[in-house]
Amino acid sequence: MLNIKVLKALNGDSIIISYGDDRLHYILVDGGRGKLCFHQLCKFIDEIKEKKGKIDLLVLTHIDSDHIDGILRLFSNQDFDFSIIEQMWFNFGERLFNSLQIDGLYKKINLYERDTKISWRQGEDLEEILQRTGIIRKLPIVSPGCHFVGGAKLTVLSPNVEILKEFADKDDEECARTTHIAYCCDYEKSVTELHEKEFEGIVSLTNRSSIAFLFEFSGKKLLLLGDAEDNTIKNSLTKLGYSNENKLKVDFCKIAHHASKHNTSNELIQMLDCSNYIISTQLTKEGRPSKECLSRIICNTTLPVKFYCNYDIDASKIFTEKEISEYGMEFIILNEAGINVEET
């Protein structure tokens, strides 16, 4: 059995994968942000304790606040039982950079851009907590890499070593320049116009450092792209032998960076055989989910696309009635039961 739950993490990510006999194996990907998401996380932890189970793997994809906040809140609770976590993936801190043999590059930095400043500080706070716990932490988690967790196979697609080294050596000026991205709502434009628009892969270095992986269990495959950049994912898939002619068949794909237009190209979708896509975000003032991203998915997929959303996203606010009729896309709102993959 395989189930995916996408928690209400506001504009962030928090995903629970449960699998195996009686779904007693668990992988938690990110902690999201917001009171409701934290409540759902606490409920999840309590349910595991009642079953006397454990989280086989906790993946913290990167340090951005909308991914790390809930985990930091859990770990800051004095009553939290760290023994419930078997192992953790978290590419951050002096130990990571020492493992990359780039001693001397790691440094505490003060960034100009507010959100990045908060995220880096949260990363350092979490690193200090982890140093006091007994959680097993594998370092570094990079592509190419293959890991086995609770009978499942996880193939790392992002980041690569070069990205992590660049992340370790970034400075104030670079961060202030590369993390600022201008957004605009594109809902008034047509699917055809957006699909044909030239792709601009403008991704911050912090998001480029995001862990993304392919999950495989009992013949089912999930593609969890975090906030990773398009080019890194395409290169990793190419090295694995996938292409437009030899597509990677996956049952579900979690769209990168909350369906930002900067993280998903036509070429990437053309490498996938998938019609089920997960959107993890509420409607945001930054224009996510972007119609440009969704249009690329719709126009490069053979079957009508189903978008599984953790918030109630009204398709009529993004697409015209004619477009919904022509392309047949469907928006499915997820409840707390999540997605039973075998039933889709």
Domain count, the chain: 1
Q: Which residues, listed in sequence order, are joined to residue 248 by a DSSP beta bridge?
A: 272
Neighbouring CB atoms inside 10 A of 314's CB total: 10
Compute the distance between CA of residue 61 and CA of residue 229 in angstroms, rounded to an integer: 13
Strands 25-29 and 57-60: parallel
User: Of 76-85, 87-96, 288-297, which range is least confident?
Assistant: 87-96
State which residues form the domain around 37.
2-343
Q: Residues 125-134: pLDDT tens digits?
A: 999 999 889 8
What separation in angstroms does the CA of 117 have from each of 72, 121, 128?
Answer: 16, 6, 17
CATH number of the domain enclosing 239: 3.60.15.10
CB-CB contact of 60 with 43 (8 Å): no
Q: Which of 216, 108, 237 is nearest to 160 (CA)?
A: 237
Q: Residues 40-52: pLDDT tens digits?
A: 999 999 999 999 8
Q: What is the per-residue pLDDT for 121?
A: 87
CB-CB contact of 137 with 87 (8 Å): yes
Quick one: pLDDT band at residue 98, thresholds 50, 70, 90? confident
Q: Which of 338, 272, 263, 336 is nearest to 305 (CA)?
A: 272
Q: Which residues, listed in sequence order, are joined to residue 331 by a DSSP beta bridge?
A: 307
Does pLDDT of 100 surpass 90?
no
Average pLDDT of the chain, as a whole number: 89
What separation in angstroms does the CA of 329 have from each of 81, 119, 198, 256?
Answer: 43, 35, 23, 19
Compute the distance between CA of residue 195 and CA of residue 295 in angstroms, rounded to an integer: 6
